[in-house]
Amino acid sequence: MNQLLNKVAVITGGNSGIGFATAQVFLTNGARVLITGRKEAAVNQAVAALGSGAAGFVADQGKLSDADALAAHVKAEYGQVDVLFINAGIAQMVPFPDASEQHFDDVMNINFKGAFFTAQKLLPLLKDGGTIVFLSSISAISGMVGNAVYSASKAALNSLARTLTRELAPRNIRVNVVNPGPIATPIFEKIGLPAEQLEEAKGRLGQAIPLQRIGEAVEVARLVAFLASDDAKFISGAEVNIDGGIMVHPVATL
Ligand X SMILES: NC(=O)c1ccc[n+]([C@@H]2O[C@H](COP(=O)([O-])OP(=O)(O)OC[C@H]3O[C@@H](n4cnc5c(N)ncnc54)[C@H](OP(=O)(O)O)[C@@H]3O)[C@@H](O)[C@H]2O)c1
- The nearest distance, CB 171 to ligand X, in angstroms, is 25
Which residues are part of the catalytic machinery? 150
Choice from 4, 8, 18, 164 touching ligand X (CB under 6 A)? 18
Would you give the end-to-end CA distance of the chain in angstroms? 42
Draw the binding track, 36-75, toward ligand X (x: CB under 6 A; -: no contact): xxxx--x-----------------xxx-------------
Q: Assess contact for 67 and 117: CB atoms under 8 A.
A: yes
- The nearest distance, CB 9 to ligand X, in angstroms, is 15
Between residues 235 and 247, which has the closer beta carbon with respect to ligand X?
Answer: 247
- The nearest distance, CB 15 to ligand X, in angstroms, is 4
Instruction: Name the maximum alpha-carbon separation found in the chain.
Output: 59
Total number of residues shown for the chain: 254
- 110 touching ligand X, by CB under 6 A: yes
Number of residues that bind ligand X (CB under 6 A): 30
Draw the binding track, 75-94, toward ligand X (x: CB under 6 A; -: no contact): ------------xxxxx---
Binding site for ligand X (CB under 6 A): 12-13, 15-19, 36-39, 42, 60-62, 87-91, 110, 135, 137, 180, 182-183, 185-187, 190
